[in-house]
Amino acid sequence: MRLGVLDVGSNTAHLLVVDAHHGAAPIPAHSHKSQLRLAEHIGVGEIIERTGIDELVEFIASAQQVAEDLGVTEMMSFATSAIREATNGDDVLREVRERTGVDLRVLSGDDEARHTFLAVRRWYGWSAGRLLVIDIGGGSLEIAVGADEAPDVAVSLPLGAGRLTRAFLPTEPCDPEQLKALRRHTRATIAEVTGRIARAGRPRDVVATSKTLRSLARIAGAAPSSDGPFARRHLDRSDLHVWVPKLAEMTSIEREALPGVSPGRSHQLLAGAIVAESVMDLLDLSRLQICPWALREGVILERIDRIDP
């Protein structure tokens, strides 16, 4: 069957079309996305502004047309932290439903962590043993650890790269005191959950997903996306110790010139690097493996499991 997964995130709205069969890996057929930066349309009172709502509706309508043209027989649509945490999130969902007919399902932070963990487990297989999975999105940080397909511990923290950039790094290059404040806040927040994660057991492999972590790995020397999903990529803690001060001295325009950094995310790369460095320091992690599968693939895999053989 041909499935469509519509993911409305804090940075990007993305329709992924795949061909799915029971017992087989999903085969990507088409990708349609737009950098809506929905979280940046959140104004006073944590309300998503009219421009953000209209752009979201416009994208969803275009995604519906793409899905229809490509013969999609089932569409799964979900939203993450930007709509989940907006005070008018229910109103946005209602308007999207009324104007497009699409019923967006809002995932909790724990759901995000759980689906992402499933995707990573399927990518690496049982031989990977106990996994620790880290995902840095625009609005939140997810950490999950476990030895099975469902994590034993899954946490979601309000430490997304976009959220922290807006709150702590309003100027470019960043002010040193603002950077210190961001670092203190990030580490204090992560420290609240390190005990829970440690009690779940030492992982055999530590894996990272998300565009932010892929970009950080790329500027540290990982293979480009043109080498395909099966190229082995990693990000070392020592790389972050080198690159965080370099990124702090750059503007977003200068970061765009770095390999693997897109214009739409360059402004929040420093905050993402601070989060990644903080996680690795506090959990004593020396290296992150980079996995090409993440939340969308986890949602797809869960649906494939329900297809009759």
Domains and their CATH numbers in the chain: 2-106 (3.30.420.40), 109-295 (3.30.420.150)
According to the model, what pLDDT value does residue 43 have?
Answer: 80
- Is residue 139 within 8 A of residue 85, CB to CB? The reply is yes
- The two three-digit tokens of residue 8, written as one number: 């409305």
* pLDDT for residue 39: 83
Long-range contacts of 190-194 (CB under 8 A, 24+ apart): 190/141, 190/157, 190/159, 190/278, 190/279, 190/282, 191/282, 193/143, 193/155, 193/157, 194/282, 194/283
Q: What is the DSSP letter of 146?
A: E
In the chain, the amino acid numbered 269 is L
Stretches in the chain below the pLDDT threshold 50:
none
- Beta carbons of 276 and 210 less than 8 angstroms apart: no
Using left for φ > 0, alpha for ψ between -120 and 50, and beta otherwise, residue 45 falls in: left
Measure the CA–CA gap between 223 and 70, rounded to whole angstroms. 31
pLDDT at site 42: 85
Calpha distance 145→154 (Å, rounded): 7
Q: How many residues does the chain have?
A: 309
pLDDT in tens, 25-74: 999 999 999 999 888 888 888 899 999 999 999 999 999 999 999 999 99
Q: pTM for the complete prediction? A: 0.95
How close are the terminal C-alpha atoms of the chain, in Å? Answer: 12
